Amino acid sequence: MAEIKKINHVAIVVKDIDQALRFWQEELGLELHHIEDVPSQKSKVAFIPVGESEIELVQPTSDDSGMAAYLEKRGEGMHHLCVEVDDIDGMLERLKEKGVRLINETALELPGRKMAFVHPKSTNGVLVELYQLI
Amino acid sequence: MAEIKKINHVAIVVKDIDQALRFWQEELGLELHHIEDVPSQKSKVAFIPVGESEIELVQPTSDDSGMAAYLEKRGEGMHHLCVEVDDIDGMLERLKEKGVRLINETALELPGRKMAFVHPKSTNGVLVELYQLI
Protein backbone atom coordinates (compact mmCIF):
# COMPACT_ATOMS: atom_id res chain seq x y z
CA MET A 1 0.00 0.00 0.00
CA ALA A 2 1.25 3.46 -0.91
CA GLU A 3 3.03 5.14 1.98
CA ILE A 4 4.21 8.64 2.87
CA LYS A 5 7.95 8.52 3.63
CA LYS A 6 8.84 12.06 4.74
CA ILE A 7 8.22 15.75 4.29
CA ASN A 8 9.88 16.59 1.00
CA HIS A 9 9.54 20.36 1.34
CA VAL A 10 7.60 23.27 2.76
CA ALA A 11 7.08 25.97 0.12
CA ILE A 12 7.04 29.60 1.21
CA VAL A 13 5.80 32.21 -1.25
CA VAL A 14 7.85 35.42 -1.13
CA LYS A 15 7.92 38.70 -3.04
CA ASP A 16 11.68 38.79 -3.45
CA ILE A 17 13.97 35.78 -3.00
CA ASP A 18 17.06 37.90 -2.36
CA GLN A 19 15.32 39.77 0.44
CA ALA A 20 13.92 36.51 1.85
CA LEU A 21 17.34 34.87 1.90
CA ARG A 22 18.43 37.47 4.41
CA PHE A 23 16.40 35.68 7.11
CA TRP A 24 16.59 32.04 6.05
CA GLN A 25 20.25 32.03 5.02
CA GLU A 26 22.10 34.88 6.70
CA GLU A 27 20.18 35.19 9.95
CA LEU A 28 18.95 31.62 10.59
CA GLY A 29 22.16 30.21 9.10
CA LEU A 30 20.66 27.66 6.70
CA GLU A 31 22.62 26.87 3.55
CA LEU A 32 21.25 27.78 0.16
CA HIS A 33 21.63 24.85 -2.22
CA HIS A 34 20.74 26.70 -5.41
CA ILE A 35 18.23 29.03 -7.05
CA GLU A 36 16.38 27.80 -10.13
CA ASP A 37 14.13 29.45 -12.67
CA VAL A 38 11.00 27.34 -13.18
CA PRO A 39 9.31 28.89 -16.23
CA SER A 40 6.59 26.17 -16.28
CA GLN A 41 5.45 27.45 -12.89
CA LYS A 42 6.23 31.11 -13.65
CA SER A 43 8.45 31.34 -10.63
CA LYS A 44 11.97 31.10 -9.35
CA VAL A 45 12.77 28.88 -6.42
CA ALA A 46 15.51 28.85 -3.76
CA PHE A 47 16.20 25.34 -2.43
CA ILE A 48 17.34 25.24 1.19
CA PRO A 49 18.03 21.79 2.70
CA VAL A 50 16.93 21.25 6.33
CA GLY A 51 17.65 17.72 7.56
CA GLU A 52 15.97 15.25 5.19
CA SER A 53 13.60 17.97 3.91
CA GLU A 54 13.85 21.33 2.19
CA ILE A 55 12.46 24.78 2.61
CA GLU A 56 11.65 26.24 -0.79
CA LEU A 57 11.33 29.98 -1.20
CA VAL A 58 9.16 30.62 -4.26
CA GLN A 59 9.00 34.01 -5.97
CA PRO A 60 6.39 34.40 -8.73
CA THR A 61 7.96 35.77 -11.92
CA SER A 62 4.67 36.67 -13.58
CA ASP A 63 1.40 38.18 -12.35
CA ASP A 64 -0.77 35.51 -13.99
CA SER A 65 0.05 32.44 -11.93
CA GLY A 66 -1.69 30.73 -9.04
CA MET A 67 1.26 31.56 -6.81
CA ALA A 68 1.08 35.27 -7.73
CA ALA A 69 -2.67 35.29 -7.04
CA TYR A 70 -2.07 33.64 -3.66
CA LEU A 71 0.62 36.21 -2.80
CA GLU A 72 -1.70 39.07 -3.80
CA LYS A 73 -4.58 37.69 -1.74
CA ARG A 74 -2.90 36.26 1.37
CA GLY A 75 0.54 37.85 1.44
CA GLU A 76 3.84 36.08 2.03
CA GLY A 77 3.82 32.84 4.01
CA MET A 78 3.65 29.07 3.79
CA HIS A 79 2.04 28.05 0.51
CA HIS A 80 2.09 24.25 0.38
CA LEU A 81 3.34 21.14 2.13
CA CYS A 82 4.95 18.46 -0.02
CA VAL A 83 5.16 14.86 1.20
CA GLU A 84 7.13 12.13 -0.51
CA VAL A 85 5.24 8.95 -1.35
CA ASP A 86 6.64 5.64 -2.59
CA ASP A 87 3.77 4.98 -5.04
CA ILE A 88 2.00 8.15 -6.17
CA ASP A 89 -0.32 6.36 -8.61
CA GLY A 90 -1.48 3.98 -5.88
CA MET A 91 -1.94 6.90 -3.49
CA LEU A 92 -4.03 8.86 -6.01
CA GLU A 93 -6.21 5.78 -6.64
CA ARG A 94 -6.80 5.37 -2.92
CA LEU A 95 -7.60 9.06 -2.40
CA LYS A 96 -10.05 9.00 -5.33
CA GLU A 97 -11.80 5.92 -3.95
CA LYS A 98 -12.17 7.66 -0.62
CA GLY A 99 -13.70 10.73 -2.27
CA VAL A 100 -10.78 13.11 -1.65
CA ARG A 101 -10.84 16.13 -3.97
CA LEU A 102 -7.71 16.25 -6.14
CA ILE A 103 -6.31 19.10 -8.20
CA ASN A 104 -4.47 16.54 -10.37
CA GLU A 105 -6.43 13.33 -10.86
CA THR A 106 -3.34 11.71 -12.36
CA ALA A 107 0.27 12.47 -11.55
CA LEU A 108 2.22 14.95 -13.66
CA GLU A 109 5.44 13.37 -14.88
CA LEU A 110 8.58 15.49 -14.90
CA PRO A 111 12.22 14.43 -15.30
CA GLY A 112 13.06 12.32 -12.25
CA ARG A 113 9.76 12.84 -10.44
CA LYS A 114 6.00 12.55 -10.48
CA MET A 115 3.76 14.98 -8.62
CA ALA A 116 0.12 15.81 -7.92
CA PHE A 117 -1.73 18.29 -5.73
CA VAL A 118 -4.59 17.49 -3.37
CA HIS A 119 -7.26 20.19 -3.05
CA PRO A 120 -7.22 22.21 0.23
CA LYS A 121 -10.97 21.58 0.53
CA SER A 122 -10.11 17.99 1.46
CA THR A 123 -7.08 18.68 3.66
CA ASN A 124 -8.14 21.24 6.29
CA GLY A 125 -6.97 24.15 4.18
CA VAL A 126 -3.48 22.84 3.44
CA LEU A 127 -2.42 22.65 -0.19
CA VAL A 128 -0.74 19.21 -0.14
CA GLU A 129 1.67 18.14 -2.87
CA LEU A 130 2.38 14.44 -3.34
CA TYR A 131 5.79 13.72 -4.79
CA GLN A 132 7.55 10.57 -5.94
CA LEU A 133 11.13 10.25 -7.10
CA ILE A 134 11.33 8.02 -10.17
CA MET B 1 27.64 28.36 16.13
CA ALA B 2 23.97 27.50 16.62
CA GLU B 3 22.65 25.34 13.79
CA ILE B 4 19.24 24.22 12.53
CA LYS B 5 19.19 20.40 12.39
CA LYS B 6 15.80 19.51 10.86
CA ILE B 7 12.14 20.41 10.58
CA ASN B 8 10.66 19.36 13.92
CA HIS B 9 7.04 19.84 12.90
CA VAL B 10 4.55 21.66 10.74
CA ALA B 11 1.51 22.74 12.77
CA ILE B 12 -1.88 22.82 11.10
CA VAL B 13 -4.76 24.57 12.86
CA VAL B 14 -8.06 22.70 12.53
CA LYS B 15 -11.59 23.13 13.84
CA ASP B 16 -12.02 19.49 14.82
CA ILE B 17 -9.19 17.00 15.24
CA ASP B 18 -11.42 13.96 14.74
CA GLN B 19 -12.68 15.30 11.43
CA ALA B 20 -9.15 16.29 10.40
CA LEU B 21 -7.79 12.82 11.15
CA ARG B 22 -10.05 11.47 8.43
CA PHE B 23 -7.71 12.94 5.81
CA TRP B 24 -4.31 12.72 7.47
CA GLN B 25 -4.73 9.29 9.04
CA GLU B 26 -7.44 7.35 7.22
CA GLU B 27 -7.08 8.71 3.71
CA LEU B 28 -3.38 9.63 3.48
CA GLY B 29 -2.45 6.64 5.65
CA LEU B 30 -0.20 8.38 8.20
CA GLU B 31 -0.07 6.93 11.70
CA LEU B 32 -1.39 8.89 14.64
CA HIS B 33 1.11 8.77 17.50
CA HIS B 34 -1.15 10.26 20.16
CA ILE B 35 -3.50 13.13 20.98
CA GLU B 36 -2.63 15.40 23.87
CA ASP B 37 -4.46 18.12 25.76
CA VAL B 38 -2.23 21.18 26.10
CA PRO B 39 -4.07 23.43 28.56
CA SER B 40 -1.20 25.97 28.62
CA GLN B 41 -1.84 26.58 24.93
CA LYS B 42 -5.61 26.15 25.18
CA SER B 43 -5.56 23.46 22.55
CA LYS B 44 -5.41 19.77 21.90
CA VAL B 45 -2.82 18.39 19.52
CA ALA B 46 -2.60 15.25 17.38
CA PHE B 47 1.02 14.18 16.78
CA ILE B 48 1.60 12.45 13.45
CA PRO B 49 5.17 11.33 12.67
CA VAL B 50 6.34 11.78 9.05
CA GLY B 51 9.95 10.69 8.54
CA GLU B 52 12.16 12.60 11.00
CA SER B 53 9.47 15.29 11.43
CA GLU B 54 5.87 15.50 12.58
CA ILE B 55 2.65 16.99 11.38
CA GLU B 56 0.75 18.42 14.33
CA LEU B 57 -2.99 19.01 14.06
CA VAL B 58 -3.92 21.68 16.58
CA GLN B 59 -7.50 22.29 17.68
CA PRO B 60 -8.13 25.35 19.88
CA THR B 61 -10.11 24.39 23.00
CA SER B 62 -10.98 27.97 23.95
CA ASP B 63 -11.99 31.05 21.98
CA ASP B 64 -9.47 33.32 23.69
CA SER B 65 -6.19 32.00 22.33
CA GLY B 66 -3.91 33.15 19.53
CA MET B 67 -4.62 29.92 17.68
CA ALA B 68 -8.40 30.44 17.93
CA ALA B 69 -8.02 34.01 16.66
CA TYR B 70 -5.93 32.77 13.74
CA LEU B 71 -8.53 30.12 12.90
CA GLU B 72 -11.30 32.73 13.02
CA LYS B 73 -9.39 35.15 10.79
CA ARG B 74 -7.63 32.89 8.28
CA GLY B 75 -9.47 29.59 8.49
CA GLU B 76 -7.90 26.14 8.73
CA GLY B 77 -4.40 25.66 7.33
CA MET B 78 -0.70 25.68 8.14
CA HIS B 79 -0.07 27.76 11.27
CA HIS B 80 3.64 27.54 12.03
CA LEU B 81 6.88 25.85 11.04
CA CYS B 82 9.06 24.49 13.82
CA VAL B 83 12.77 23.89 13.27
CA GLU B 84 15.04 22.09 15.69
CA VAL B 85 18.20 23.92 16.74
CA ASP B 86 21.16 22.58 18.73
CA ASP B 87 21.64 25.79 20.76
CA ILE B 88 18.49 27.89 21.06
CA ASP B 89 20.06 30.49 23.38
CA GLY B 90 22.92 31.03 20.92
CA MET B 91 20.45 31.25 18.04
CA LEU B 92 18.29 33.83 19.85
CA GLU B 93 21.40 35.90 20.62
CA ARG B 94 22.43 35.85 16.97
CA LEU B 95 18.94 36.75 15.74
CA LYS B 96 18.73 39.64 18.21
CA GLU B 97 22.13 40.95 17.10
CA LYS B 98 20.94 40.87 13.51
CA GLY B 99 17.79 42.81 14.37
CA VAL B 100 15.31 39.96 13.83
CA ARG B 101 11.99 40.57 15.60
CA LEU B 102 11.29 37.86 18.18
CA ILE B 103 8.04 36.97 19.93
CA ASN B 104 10.09 35.38 22.75
CA GLU B 105 13.33 37.24 23.45
CA THR B 106 14.46 34.37 25.67
CA ALA B 107 13.55 30.71 25.31
CA LEU B 108 10.63 29.27 27.27
CA GLU B 109 11.75 26.22 29.21
CA LEU B 110 9.41 23.24 29.38
CA PRO B 111 10.12 19.68 30.52
CA GLY B 112 12.59 18.24 28.00
CA ARG B 113 12.62 21.20 25.66
CA LYS B 114 13.17 24.90 25.14
CA MET B 115 11.25 26.92 22.59
CA ALA B 116 10.82 30.41 21.19
CA PHE B 117 8.86 32.00 18.37
CA VAL B 118 10.23 34.39 15.76
CA HIS B 119 7.83 37.08 14.58
CA PRO B 120 6.36 36.61 11.08
CA LYS B 121 7.32 40.22 10.27
CA SER B 122 10.94 39.03 10.11
CA THR B 123 10.35 35.72 8.33
CA ASN B 124 8.32 36.46 5.20
CA GLY B 125 5.02 35.82 6.92
CA VAL B 126 5.95 32.43 8.41
CA LEU B 127 5.50 31.98 12.15
CA VAL B 128 8.76 30.14 12.93
CA GLU B 129 9.19 28.18 16.14
CA LEU B 130 12.70 27.36 17.33
CA TYR B 131 12.93 24.20 19.39
CA GLN B 132 15.71 22.51 21.30
CA LEU B 133 15.58 19.17 23.04
CA ILE B 134 17.25 19.36 26.45
All structural domains of chain A, each given as residue ranges with its CATH number in brackets, are 4-133 (3.10.180.10)
pLDDT digits 0-9 by tens, B16-73: 999 999 999 999 999 999 999 998 889 999 999 999 999 999 999 999 988 899 999 9
How far apart (Å, rounded) are the C-alpha atoms in residues B45 and B79?
A: 13
pLDDT digits 0-9 by tens, A27-84: 999 999 999 999 888 999 999 999 999 999 999 999 998 889 999 999 999 999 999 9
Contact B29 A78 (CB under 8 A): no
Which chain B residue's Cα is nearest to A120? Answer: B77
Contact B10 A94 (CB under 8 A): no
Which of B124, B127, B133 best tests the A interface by mutation, with the highest count of A CBs <10 A?
B124
Residue A123 half-sphere exposure toward CB, CA atoms < 13 A: 21
How far apart (Å, rounded) are the C-alpha atoms in residues A72 and A33?
A: 27
Residues B21, B57 contacting (CB under 8 angstroms): yes
ipTM of predicted assembly, 2 dp: 0.95
Selecting from B12, B51, B126 the residue whose C-beta is nearest the C-beta of A124 gives: B12
Dihedral class, residue B99 (left if φ above 0, else alpha if ψ from -120 to 50, else beta): left
**Average pLDDT taken over every residue of chain B:** 96
Quickly state the pLDDT bin for A132 (edges 50, 70, 90).
very high
B7 touches chain A (CB under 8 A): yes
Nearest C-alpha neighbor of A95 from the set A75, A116, A112: A116
How far apart (Å, rounded) are the C-alpha atoms in residues B91 and B4?
A: 9
Contact B50 A6 (CB under 8 A): yes
A44 burial level (CB within 10 Å; 0-12, 13-18, 19+)? middle
Q: N- to C-terminal Cα distance for chain A?
A: 17
pLDDT digits 0-9 by tens, B64-118: 988 899 999 999 999 999 999 999 999 999 999 999 999 999 999 999 999 999 9
Question: 3-state DSSP: chain B helix, strand, coil percent, rounded to 5?
Answer: 25, 40, 30
Sort out which chain B residues have CB atoms less than 8 A from A123's CB and list them: 23-24
- Spatial strand order of the sheet with B43-50 comes to B34-38, B43-50, B53-60, B4-13, B77-85, B128-133, B113-118, B108-110
Contact A78 B126 (CB under 8 A): yes
Nearest C-alpha neighbor of B71 from the set A14, A70, A125: A125
**Residue B71 CB partners (closer than 8 Å, separation 6+):** B13, B15, B60
